Amino acid sequence: MRCPYCAAEDTQVKDSRPTEENQSIRRRRVCPVCGGRFTTFERVQLREMTVVKRDGRRVPFARDKLMHSVEVALRKRPVEPERIDRMVSGIVRQLESSGEAEISSTTVGELVMEALKGLDPVAYVRFASVYRDFREAADFQGVLGEIAGIRSAGASTGADGDAGLAPAETATVTRLRTDTR
């Protein structure tokens, strides 16, 4: 496995153990060139699935991509990597067990939102703001209402940009925050 830090071709496995009730193997690796440490997971892929985007494009389902968008939403949030990994595995399992070869990106997005809601409310808002592409201020208020009491919510929307928030919507957020004090 190539080193993600310095791109050295060979890294060494330091430790290897089963996780998620034996559904995956976690390996701690170290790079002999730069000393970088990272973790890989090995797991069964039951079926090939295709994601149908909103514009009709079809792309192979990739766990890594799903993981990436979840990680962006969870950036700097106090959530253990193992919990994130379990959450993503749960979503993949749900998709696989649906028996469908083609799944809509909407279905994936809804599952992620549902899972994030329970895991971390701030990440949930970040993901929802990008995913739902709030065009209506009312949408955003609805989501904020679901997580009322979390003051830091909506402070950042992650690497995917500004989530299309118009100034009026930002003002609404500020007002809602003031009201919760």
Question: Should residue 31 be labelled a site residue for Zn ion when binding is judged by CB under 5 A?
Answer: yes
The CB-of-92 to Zn ion minimum distance in angstroms stands at 29
Question: Should residue 1 be labelled a site residue for Zn ion when binding is judged by CB under 5 A?
Answer: no
List beta partners, residue 37.
30
Determine the Cα–Cα distance for residues 85 and 149; give it in Å rounded to an integer.
27
Helix (H, G, I), strand (E, B) or coil at 40: strand
Which window, 23-31, 54-62, 146-154, 166-174, contacts Zn ion (CB under 5 A)? Answer: 23-31
Question: Should residue 6 be labelled a site residue for Zn ion when binding is judged by CB under 5 A?
Answer: yes
Residue of the chain from 13, 34, 148, 155 that contacts Zn ion (CB under 5 A): 34
The CB-of-52 to Zn ion minimum distance in angstroms stands at 38
Which window, 24-32, 79-87, 104-112, 172-180, contacts Zn ion (CB under 5 A)? Answer: 24-32
DSSP string for residues in 53-121: -TTS-EEE--HHHHHHHHHHHTTT-S--HHHHHHHHHHHHHHHHHT--SEEEHHHHHHHHHHHHHHH-H
Chain positions 60 to 119 lying near Zn ion, rule: CB under 5 A, are none
